[in-house]
Amino acid sequence: MFIGHFTEEPWQKEDWPLEWGSGVMQVSNSEYDPRLAAHLYNRYLDEKVYAEEVGFDGIMLNEHHSAPFCLNSVANVQAAILARITTKAKILLLGNILPIHDDPLWLAEQLAMIDVISKGRLIPGVVRGGGSESIAHNTPPHFNRERFEEAHDFLIKTWTTPGPFRWEGKHYQYRYVNPWAVPYQKPHPPMWVPGTASKETVEWAAQHRYPYIMLATQIELTQQMYKVYYDTAREEGYEAGPQHLGFMFFFHVEETEEKAMEYGRTLTMGVRSPFDPGVERPRPWIMSPPGISSKSARALQRQMLAVDSTGHTHAGARASFEDQVATNGMIVGTPDSVIPKIRYILETLRPGTILFRTGDGAMTHETQMRTLKLMGAEVLPRIREIAKELDLPGPYEVDPTTNEAYAAVAS
């Protein structure tokens, strides 16, 4: 099993007005304090280094734009730093927002350099991105999927085909492709794909045999998307397994249940994701402009955020802290009490990759470091035992592209 650590790296400000919500494209950057930002960037890097020390296999990074709930607007910058200051953990990008890149050759060079500096520890995941990313970077939403797929194909060719060569596509044209930097890993670094509600993206990932990671979705909807992956894999002539699928969930652990509930609650406080409970959502045209999502994806998104007759949702990221804990949307407790809940997820979904989302919202550095220490000492070893018992190989134990076991774990 592959076990990763993730935090959204939110802006932290005690007097952040509730009506500002996540701040996505609705708060002026005049509110940005570079001194506070310097503290937060270094804090989050320290936590990532410590996550490696306590035994996580990978450190996940993502990016959002014009969005205070995620300070990491250029994930490749942090990935480059981590390539030098860590030594063992995989650097998992989930991921680079391909449609907003007008120059994927430059992106290919960046990622190749990071992979080389890290000596082959980069996992360059790719995403289509949300509506706010397309709007902020002036990218036509209706070309989102086309640009995503063409940029992906260009990256793979650039990394695997000796140059110089010419590229004449619909959205990208190059007379001369011959970057000096090429990846450390051969034939190219492993590509992973995250998502929540796009059936088309799940099918695309399965067609390429890329691991697909569901991001903090309800168990039932995650099962639906996993079935799409399994069915598509069979159509493509192979059987998908745990090595092809992953799941991320919110998590907090303390020495007592009382402390866990007290400090775990801060995950849903402060500047947080537009999908979190109590947050005023950005205008619909910002999150989902016309043309960016298919009808099936929009329908599933509505199902994920469904409310009852009182307007209250009891599951998923917009539910209350109590409801999320009750439905395993958040796993909060002591080392002894969280293990059965994690086992339930592993038995029900059978993912080969799990990502713990911690340190979000208004959680302090001290609280985050405390939970990471407990995870390393008392949670991660027990999860690995359960994964072995349930036969849940990760993508570094069984090659997703061939379904063959590795002779040894790549280093």
CB neighbours (10 Å) of residue 325?
Answer: 21
Which pLDDT score, from 0 to 100, does residue 283 have? 61
Q: With the C-alpha atoms ordered 259, 264, 266, 269, is the resulting torsion angle positive or negative?
A: negative
pLDDT at 400 over 60: yes
DSSP annotation of 120: S
Name the nearest CA neighbour of 329 among 224, 221, 218, 209. Answer: 218
Query: Does 4 or 309 have the greater pLDDT score?
Result: 4
Contact 9, 330 (CB under 8 A): no
Domains by residue range for the chain, with CATH: 2-389 (3.20.20.30)
User: Could you report the per-residue pLDDT of 312-344, keeping only the tens digit for each?
Assistant: 555 565 678 888 898 888 999 999 999 999 999
Tell me, rounded to whole angstroms, the distance of Cα 298 from its chain centroid.
20
- What would the mean pLDDT of 351-358 be, rounded to a whole number? 97
Q: What is the pLDDT of residues 147-158, one digit of tens each?
A: 999 999 999 999
Q: Binning pLDDT at 50, 70 and 90, where does residue 10 land? A: very high
pLDDT at residue 315, rounded to an integer? 58
14/260: higher pLDDT: 260
DSSP, collapsed to helix, strand or coil, labels residue 331 as strand
224-234: b (≥16 Cβ within 10 Å) or e: bbbebbbebbe
Whose structure tokens read 């069984």?
398
Could you give the CA distance from residue 367 to residue 330 in angstroms, rounded to a whole number? Answer: 17
Peptide bond into 277 cis (omega under 30): no
pLDDT of residue 384: 98
Tokens describing residue 328? 């395993």
Mean pLDDT of 167-177: 98
Residue 140 has pLDDT above 90, yes or no: no
303 has a pLDDT exceeding 80: no
Total residue length of the chain: 411
Mean pLDDT of 373-397: 98
Give per-residue pLDDT as tens, 238-251. Answer: 999 999 999 999 99
- pLDDT tens-digit profile of 187-213? 999 999 999 878 999 999 999 999 999
